[in-house]
Amino acid sequence: MRPFLLPVFSLFSFFSYAQTGAITGKVTSGGQPLEFANVVIKSSAYGNVAREDGSFDIAKIPFGTYSIIASAIGYESQTKQITLSQENPVVVTDFSLSESSATLEEVVISGTMKEVSRLESPVPVEVYSPQFFKANPTPSIFESLQNVNGVRPQLNCNVCNTGDIHINGLEGPYTMILIDGMPIVSGLSTVYGLTGIPQSLIERVEIVKGPASTLYGSEAVGGLINIITKKPSAAPAVSVDMMGTSWGEVNTDVGLKFKAGGKAQSLLGINYFNYQNPIDNNGDGFTDVTLQDRISFFNKWSFDRGENRVFTVAARYVYEDRWGGEMRWAPEYRGGDQVYGESIYTSRWEMLGVYQLPVKEIINFQFSTNGHRQNSYYGTTSYSADQYIGFGQVTWNKQAGKRHDLLLGAAYRFTYYDDNTGATSGVEGENNPSVTNLPGLFAQDEISINSSNKLLLGMRYDYNSVHGSIFSPRINYKWSSHNKKNVVRLSAGNGYRVANVFTEDHAALTGARQVVFNEALLPETSWNGNVNYVKKMYTRNNTYIGLDATAFYTYFQNRIIPDYETDPNKIIYSNLDGSAVSKGISLNLDVSLESGLSMLVGGTMMDVSITENGVTTRQLLTERFSGVWSIGYTFGKSGFSIDYTGNLYGPMRLPLLGELDNRAPYSPWWSVQNIQVTKTFGSDWEIYGGVKNLLNYTPPANSIARPFDPFDKNVQFDGNGQVVPTPDNPNALTFDPNYVFAPNQGIRGFLGVRYLLNR
Amino acid sequence: MRRLLFCILCFAFSNSLAQQVDWIGFEKLQESLRKQPRPVLIFVHTSWCRFCAMQLENTFTDKDVVNEIQSAYYAVSLDAEQKDDVSFLKKRYRYKPAGSGSGYHELAEFLGRKDGTLAFPTTVILSASLQPLGQFQGFLNASNLLQLMENARITELNDVIK
């Protein structure tokens, strides 16, 4: 009775003051009392807080007409008009607030030392934010990856500048590229997986070096690059980023977000890159940098569903026209033997999505499908190829007890590949496209032994319709110290991959050399082990120091390695009669100071070699040392910041054309360094500019052999097809664009502007 | 016996000097507020966030910060990736998976999201009647945190005058 009597009694007391009244009532939401709701009279000091039963009262209010507002965080506020007067001194008014989806957001202040992405799995995953890549802005993630220790975007061709990603010395085909965890790239298209996604729509880039979790199959021996795009809810409403360089390159990124109905949200990203200014600074008569015209659209939809279930679908389309060659090349020379040019038209589409089944268990259906069409001429050699890949996967994530986190799954991949070379012809020369079916099953168990020890066991079985059964086990172990400042990770697994030389090896299709298969190529098999140690330190003056050290070892029992050296006019492919090893150590140092200085410095030392018939040789185009750094400083609240980034590479063994070739057999030490200044204006605008390749490093001018005779018209061959040295050709060379270890683009300035509209 | 007494004294002494914040969970918050109204400091963090660890290790052990929080605040710790539902102000907040093994708790998103994204650590100050008074995304050192609490106090005073 007492709680009821008390307010009644207090109301009586108000009547003794003639000129004041009171407001009383109840605040509820969905019929439930809303304790701690605030009820205040607008523009006054009068107000009170709702009690446990939702009731409130505000006393001693002078007569008058007022707006009263009831509010509680997480709910829509409600306003009511009331009048207190002599006749009506006590007003009873109830509020019913509805839940709001808005966040507290508008009052957030933001500092510099903060993190948005995770790094916690037993598998050592490196996570990079778009902020990290902004320190050295580039038109695509492909180029941006040069800022990551142990990862090197490698150009494979001096003329067409197509490339692949090397991770710890292993080439592109050993790297898997994913968008939102879905494999989208295989063979034909490494670079295209990494171009054309506006960087403002990227949430983070995850990199795993060495074999990743069993979820991703056994092909990615070198590692994987997973581009996670933003959820539409987390993306800015509008983002625009435009950058130009003194070479005439222009890159434009546009990101837009829109709502469709109450339940669907969509992101649209458009990327346009254009470079149409042939430059020949090294005087070899060839374009230093390939001319490119590329447009890409990315559209992602996400749908709100009950129980926070996931449903997203995304599509991407890329079209690119690129050419490189003699300076006076024009499209009418395409395919002809008058003026040398390499011209590639690429069109590519992708669709991918995740749908969580409407059941109690966490079961996801994921799919991706893509089509890739390349129409190209390398001089007079035509290469025209089509590839279609369909991929579907069902995964079931189950927490079993407190210790076991199970992931069970079934996957299916279909690959269709057809080109105009001998790779897809039957015995009688008829066209015979290659079709591969690859069903698989996998299971993994993440076992939390205790708070310091985690074990991840994985098994996978795939059936390749051409090569049969593939079994791949994985083991990962993570130990972290009690205070989480020391972490050790161990991982081991195997790799299994079917090589496709035409889609993977650029040199195989330039026609500069004859392609020879000595025998039927078998799948590549390998074993890999990694040890990773992470140490975090916090000093008393709030400096963070992080160390991340990794040792890696991969042993290939079979590896398909193109042999350029036995015969300079041929590329010979055969199974490896011996073994190949990739081993090394890498170290990253990460320092952040409260003053605004932050730096990430990394180095990798590695040895990648092939042992055949008792002879060990170094892998071509692979450095023994590489270093990378990114140092940034923010000048307090002035809005200015400066970034200094760079790379340093040790010598690489280079592919020569025989004994008489006068080009250097090893590349020198080389370094590319960049500096950038950024100024932000409010929260919407940002202007950035700087200088790339400060040291103006470019590879030697004689990198392309015999650029003056690209069709080998003045080369004399003997009866066996070998080049004969002649006074005109004393080094017995043929035209060769495959001697390339560094980008052929010297110092240049750049300037860009970013606009971001949130809401 | 004297040795035991000495030990007890030592224990009592060290306890009274203990430089640490007593963190409570959301489930206890409303009950505590009913008994004694105090402003609330919420620390939104994740297990992998290194600047969160630094704020815990350096800022939340600072003598002035500990004194201020222990004498005048309720301190609530929220792991942004926790899987358990939290009921706060009659509203149920849940873990929200974002696919590919990641996701955040709705309450962390509600308290800390800025321009659509969460960043860690995020420090939020609410009044004793649970009205927002201040939010900060990023590492806070001791003097900045004390300043944030002071600004929150001024904001509340201004709100009352308004």
Better-predicted residue by pLDDT, A12 or B105: B105
Please check whether residue B126 touches A, CB under 8 A.
yes
Helix, strand, or coil here: A596?
A: coil
Residues A33, A53 contacting (CB under 8 angstroms):
yes
Which residue of chain A is at minimal alpha-carbon distance from B56? A538
Please check whether residue B36 touches A, CB under 8 A.
no
Beta bridge partners of A70: A39, A78
pLDDT digits (tens, 9 = 90+) for B35-65: 999 999 999 999 888 899 999 999 999 999 9
Task: Quote the CA–CA distance of A531 and A551 in Å, as a whole number.
Answer: 5
Nearest to A185 by CA among A136, A142, A231, A125: A142
Q: What is the CA radius of gyration of chain B?
A: 18
Residues A310, A364 contacting (CB under 8 angstroms):
yes
Better-predicted residue by pLDDT, A686 or A573: A686
Please check whether residue B162 touches A, CB under 8 A.
yes
pLDDT digits (tens, 9 = 90+) for A685-713: 999 999 999 999 999 999 999 999 999 99
Q: State whether the Cα torsion A232-A235-A236-A239 is positive or negative.
A: negative
- Give how far A236 is from chain B: nearest CA, Å: 7
Ordered DSSP codes for A525-550: EEEEEEEEEEEEEE-TTS-EEEEEEE
Query: How many beta-carbon contacts under 8 Å exist across A and B?
Result: 164
- Give how far B147 is from chain A: nearest CA, Å: 13
- Give how far B2 is from chain A: nearest CA, Å: 36
Which residues have a Cβ under 8 Å from the Cβ of B29 and sit 6 or more positions away? Answer: B40, B74, B76, B88
Confidence of residue A507 (pLDDT cuts 50, 70, 90): low
CB contact under 8 A, B132 and A118: no
| CA angle, A115 then A120 then A126, to 5° | 70
Please check whether residue B112 touches A, CB under 8 A.
yes
Residues A196, A271 contacting (CB under 8 angstroms):
yes
- Residue A290's pLDDT is 95
Q: Which two tokens stand for residue B113?
A: 């999201």
Look at A375-379, A493-497, B11-15 and tell me which has the smallest mean pLDDT.
B11-15
- Residue A7's pLDDT is 43
- Residue A121's pLDDT is 77
A156 conformational bin, left if phi > 0, alpha if psi -120 to 50, beta if neither: alpha
- Give how far A431 is from chain B: nearest CA, Å: 40
Chain A CB contacts of B145 below 8 Å: none
- Residue B48's pLDDT is 84
Confidence of residue A218 (pLDDT cuts 50, 70, 90): confident
pTM: 0.88
Tell me: cis bond preceding A153? Omega within 30 of 0 counts: no
Crossing angle of the two packed helices B63-72 and B142-161, in degrees rounded to 10: 30
Pick from A34, A356, A485: which is nearest to B90 by CB? A34
Chain A CB contacts of B46 below 8 Å: 118
- Residue B14's pLDDT is 45
Pick from B91, B100, B138: which is nearest to A181 by CB? B100
pLDDT digits (tens, 9 = 90+) for A632-684: 999 988 999 999 999 999 999 998 988 899 999 999 999 999 999 999 998 88
pLDDT digits (tens, 9 = 90+) for B121-145: 999 999 998 988 888 999 999 999 9
Confidence of residue A176 (pLDDT cuts 50, 70, 90): confident
CB contact under 8 A, B119 and A115: yes
Chain A CB contacts of B50 below 8 Å: 115, 536, 538, 544, 546
Q: Is A447 buried (19+), middle (13-18) or exposed (0-12) by CB count in 10 A?
A: middle
Residues A645, A600 contacting (CB under 8 angstroms):
no
Q: Which two tokens stand for residue A665?
A: 């057999």
Q: Is B10 buried (19+), middle (13-18) or exposed (0-12) by CB count in 10 A?
A: exposed
Nearest to A42 by CA among A79, A68, A78, A72: A68
Residues comprising chain A, all counted: 759
Q: Give per-residue burial for A402-423: e unless 16+ CB within 10 Å, then b.
A: eeebebebebebbbebbbebeb
Residues A61, A41 contacting (CB under 8 angstroms):
yes
CB contact under 8 A, A72 and B100: no
- Residue A544's pLDDT is 94
Helix, strand, or coil here: A696?
A: coil
Q: Is A307 buried (19+), middle (13-18) or exposed (0-12) by CB count in 10 A?
A: exposed
- Give how far B35 is from chain A: nearest CA, Å: 12
Please check whether residue B123 touches A, CB under 8 A.
no
- Residue B157's pLDDT is 78
pLDDT at A597 > cutoff 70: yes
Nearest to A523 by CA among A569, A583, A460, A575: A575
Confidence of residue A390 (pLDDT cuts 50, 70, 90): very high
Task: Quote the CA–CA distance of B89 and B112 in Å, as a whole number.
Answer: 17
Q: Which amino acid is at A569?
A: N
Interface test with A, best of B38, B47, B54 (most A CBs within 10 A): B54
Confidence of residue B115 (pLDDT cuts 50, 70, 90): confident
Output phi, psi for B47, to 5 deg: -70, -25
- Give how far A209 is from chain B: nearest CA, Å: 18
Nearest to A663 by CA among A706, A620, A626: A706
Pick from B48, B57, B134: which is nearest to A538 by CB? B57
- Residue A421's pLDDT is 75
Chain A CB contacts of B88 below 8 Å: 74
Average of per-residue pLDDT across A268-272 = 94
Chain B CB contacts of A119 below 8 Å: 48
pLDDT digits (tens, 9 = 90+) for A234-250: 788 999 999 999 999 99
Pick from B50, B111, B114: which is nearest to A115 by CB? B50
Pick from A35, A226, A312: which is nearest to B99 by CB? A312
Pick from A110, A203, A544: which is nearest to B51 by CB? A544
pLDDT above 90 as % of chain B: 49
Which residues have a Cβ under 8 Å from the Cβ of A263 and sit 6 or more positions away? Answer: A303, A304, A305
Ordered DSSP codes for A242-311: EEEETT--EEEEEEEEEEETTTEEEEEEEEEEEE-----TT-SSB-SS-EEEEEEEEEEEEE--GGG--E
Q: What is the bridge-based pairing of β-strands A238-245 and A182-183?
A: unpaired
CB contact under 8 A, A72 and B53: no
The DSSP secondary-structure symbol of B7 reads: H
Which residue of chain A is at minimal alpha-carbon distance from B59? A542
pLDDT at A231 > cutoff 90: no
Q: Give per-residue burial for A588-627: e unless 16+ CB within 10 Å, then b.
A: bbbbbbbeeebebbbbbebebebeeeeeeeebbbbbbebb
CB contact under 8 A, A308 and B95: yes
Beta bridge partners of A69: A40, A79
Pick from B52, B135, B160: which is nearest to A107 by CB? B135
Please check whether residue B116 touches A, CB under 8 A.
yes
Residues A218, A460 contacting (CB under 8 angstroms):
yes
Nearest to A441 by CA among A470, A411, A466, A397: A411
Chain A CB contacts of B111 below 8 Å: 103-104
Pick from B30, B50, B95: which is nearest to A35 by CB? B30
Q: Which two tokens stand for residue A314?
A: 């995304």
pLDDT above 90 as % of chain A: 58
pLDDT at B16 > cutoff 70: no
CB contact under 8 A, B51 and A540: no
Task: Quote the CA–CA distance of A316 and A196 in Å, as a whole number.
Answer: 9
- Residue A276's pLDDT is 97
Task: Quote the CA–CA distance of A249 and A455 in Å, as a whole number.
Answer: 49
Which residue of chain B is at minimal alpha-carbon distance from A235? B116
pLDDT digits (tens, 9 = 90+) for A709-759: 999 999 998 888 888 999 999 999 999 888 999 999 999 999 999 999 876
CB contact under 8 A, B117 and A310: no
Chain B CB contacts of A683 below 8 Å: 115
**Whole-number average pLDDT of chain B:** 84
Residues A372, A387 contacting (CB under 8 angstroms):
yes
Q: Which amino acid is at B47?
A: S
CB contact under 8 A, A104 and B116: no
Which residues have a Cβ under 8 Å from the Cβ of B37 and sit 6 or more positions away? Answer: B128, B129
Chain B CB contacts of A235 below 8 Å: 116
pLDDT digits (tens, 9 = 90+) for A319-333: 999 999 999 999 999
Alpha helices by DSSP H, listed for B19-162, are: 26-35, 50-58, 63-72, 106-112, 142-161
Look at A111-120, A469-478, A581-590, A747-756 and tell me which has the smallest mean pLDDT.
A111-120
CB contact under 8 A, A484 and B53: yes
Which residue of chain A is at minimal alpha-carbon distance from B62? A540
**Whole-number average pLDDT of chain A:** 88
Better-predicted residue by pLDDT, A455 or A200: A455
CB contact under 8 A, A104 and B135: yes
Q: Which amino acid is at B121?
A: P
Q: Is A211 buried (19+), middle (13-18) or exposed (0-12) by CB count in 10 A?
A: buried
pLDDT at A309 > cutoff 70: yes
Residues A386, A373 contacting (CB under 8 angstroms):
yes
Pick from A34, A72, A310: which is nearest to B99 by CB? A310
pLDDT at A14 > cutoff 60: no
CB contact under 8 A, B51 and A114: yes
Which of A15-24, A491-500, A506-515 is modeled with the greatest confidence? A491-500
- Residue A219's pLDDT is 80
